[in-house]
Structure 1
């Protein structure tokens, strides 16, 4: 019977809490996140568990809907970056030759430009919508996934079972998904959690700078931007999203560490 350590249980609990809150936001948020229902920056009360924001909207409702937007954008961008990044990296290694060289040099070129600056430049000249934001974030982040996946797959590509598959005449995609991917899961799973948290921070940063999720939609970075002036007066409304991001980051990393150690132990048991 599989025993889950306490740290992983804590990570699963808080991560599940965030994701369930995002999924069921319309049913658990006490107020409409865009409705003004009180005075600005009201303190915590039974009516408003986290107080109100800079224009009198319920902060708890804004946080729940903001978490929904932030998690959805980050998860969708992570799926794009990992799907494209790993597929391109594994294919480049299996095919080799000029394909591998051209893709690797192109990725190096893109990585030489700071990701945040690149995103700001792109988003400043295109309409900033949720699909565009997800696509830009996913495409920019696939460079990191590509480098990791390629580094892992280079060693796997020279294994006997991969060479045997090539000699049998298997197609490139068959080798990628049946031979290389299962044996590269361990580091990729750990990286998945890190990239998801990076995406949460990335979209929050873009929203704080005004080029992320656009009003009236809420997200955690936007909530910080809206309420940052309150810090001067000791209003905690801008700190709450930062606490939420920190808890989510720690929780996801605890799960990733457990999955990584579990995968490593299973692999060691098979080798033994």
Structure 2
């Protein structure tokens, strides 16, 4: 069976499993959970299934990988075989093992970066909208200045200055993406702070933290959750791009972006091995976007037809 046929069959199998799980959830769940499962389109079920599989692989990587992440277990660029189902890389490390560990490293770092960017950007955005005045103007103009610089170029500049450790990578990309989260959170909050219940809470003497936590954030949660999914995709692709350029996750740590770069030579010989980590990146990105689209439909009050 050819590679394209195998990929098509695998995706069809995932969609079939997602359909079975969705049908099972509709039959077994009750109350509000059953209502959510009933409204879930097949694409969202597929996305959730893929995300769960990636999370399981990332957590259980040491148990699933046949070889350690960094060990040289063969000669360079060995063909696919029973001992090495996906062959070896340019220095003889097992590709399947590094692909599995890459899920932990690439996805884990992207999630931590997105969470940090989201906490900082959303809190500052909500605070700026609630406070207004000179604080809002200073933060907004500072964010505008940062957003005027292309994100990838700005990240490359900062990583060149502060180094390319994992901590630097997380902090730099989080700082760049927090500006985008700030703009969305501020925009959403500006439509909420003028509501009567916010004014009533202020008259009761409630402080800024109470207003953000109990009044503004619950009403802004739906668009922020959708933005979290989209922002994760952008961060995930940014880290992979930086690793491909040699400024992301440093070797010998397994990372999908650097794996594409290190094994790109095989493409000239018709070997699809370098496309596997690229395919993992693409599949997770599509899956997250499927779930985000579903959440946006739910947040807007629309009902998407299920299949």
Q: TM-score range by the shorter chain?
A: over 0.9
Equivalent residues in 2 for 1:212-223, closer than 5 Å:
212-223=248-259
Query: Aligned partners of 2:215 and 2:70: how far apart in 1?
Result: 50
What residue is the counterpart of 1:195 in the other structure? 231
Asked whether the equivalents of residues 223 and 299 of structure 2 are also in contact (C-alpha less than 8 Å), the reply is: no
**Contact 1:41–1:235 under 8 Å retained in 2:** no
Structure 2 residue 135 is matched with structure 1 residue 128: no
Aligned to 1:105: 141
How far residue 124 of structure 1 moved from its aligned partner, in angstroms, is 1.0
Counterpart secondary structure, 1:18: helix
Aligned to 1:71: 107
Which residue, 168, 174, 187 being the options, matches 2:204? 168
Displacement of 1:5 in angstroms is 2.8
Please list the CA deviations of residues 29-82 of structure 1 after superposition, one character each: whole Å capped at 9, or x if unmatched.
011121222232222222222222122211111111111111111001101111
CA distance in 1, matches of 2:161, 2:175: 17
Return 5+ residue gaps in structure 1 as ranges.
267-272
Matching of residue 248 in structure 1 with residue 284 in structure 2: yes
Q: 2:75 aligns with which of 23, 39, 54?
A: 39
Aligned length: 266
RMSD between aligned alpha carbons? 1.4
SS at match of 2:161: coil
Q: Which residue of 2 aligns with 1:153?
A: 189
Cα distance, 1:21 vs structure 2: 0.4
Between stretches 257-266 and 30-39, larger displacement belongs to 257-266
SS in 1 for 2:198: helix
C-alpha offsets along residues 6-44 of structure 1, whole Å, 9 cap, x if unaligned?
A: 222211111111111011111110111212222322222
Gaps of 5+ in 2: 1-33, 303-307
Corresponding residue number in structure 1 for 2:16: none
Displacement, 1:229? 1.8
Distance 2:75 2:271 in 1: 13
Q: Report the TM-score when normalising by structure 1.
A: 0.94
Q: Paired residue for 1:54, among 76, 79, 90?
A: 90
* Residue deviations 1:105-133 (CA, integer Å, cap 9, x gap): 00000001111111111111223211111
TM-score (norm 2): 0.83
Runs ≥4 residues deviating over 4 A = none
- Report the counterpart of residue 62 of structure 2 in structure 1: 26
Query: Is the 1:230–1:237 contact (alpha carbons within 8 Å) kept by the matching residues of 2?
Result: yes
